[in-house]
Amino acid sequence: MGKINKFSNLYDKDNNLIRKAPLKDYSIEELEELVDKLAADKDENGRIRDPKAFNNASALLFRLYQTKGNPHEKDLIDKLNEYAKSHETSDAEVKKALGEINEVLEDKETQSPENNNMEEYIDYEEVK
C-alpha cells in the first residue's frame, strides 16, 4: 500500500474528489518569469541546474496556456510569418537538396550486402 502524500489529490471509492492538492495560484507572467529564471540558471557545462523544477514550472505554464490562452500567441504567429517570408527557398535550392539526398540514397544502395556480387568471391586455400 502506498503512502498518502500531502501534495496529492484524494478521492473516495466512487472516484469523487475529496481534497485537492494545494497549488499556489500563479499568474502567467509570474510563471514565465520563473521559467526564464530557471532556464538561465546553468552550471559550468551549460546544463540547467534544477531540470526537475524547470520541467514542472514549464508544464504548469503550458497547462495555463491551454486553459486561459496564450497571451503571446499572436506575436509568435507574426514572428513565424515574418521568418517564413524572409527565408523563402528557390527552386534551384530545392533541386540541389533533393539531388544530394538521392546521391546519399544511391551510395547506401551500392553499399548494401544484398547488392554485392558473389562472382568476386575468392575461394579459401588451406595453408599446410
Domain span at 47: 1-73
3-state secondary structure of 92: helix
Give me the number of domains the chain comprises.
Answer: 1
Name the band, by pLDDT with cuts 50, 70 and 90, for residue 75: confident
Query: Is residue 21 one of the residues assigned to a domain?
Result: yes
Query: Is residue 87 one of the residues assigned to a domain?
Result: no
State the Cα–Cα distance between residues 99 and 73, nearest whole angstrom: 37
Residue type, 75: D
| Sequence-distant contacts of 73-78: CB under 8 A, at least 24 apart | none
Name the band, by pLDDT with cuts 50, 70 and 90, for residue 25: confident
90 backbone dihedrals φ, ψ, rounded to 5°? -90, 170
Lookup result for grid cell 478521492 = 11
Bigger pLDDT: 121 or 103? 103
- Looking at residue 122, its pLDDT comes to 66
Query: Is residue 112 one of the residues assigned to a domain?
Result: no
For the chain, the average pLDDT equals: 78
Query: Is residue 14 one of the residues assigned to a domain?
Result: yes
Query: Is residue 58 one of the residues assigned to a domain?
Result: yes
Query: Is residue 101 one of the residues assigned to a domain?
Result: no
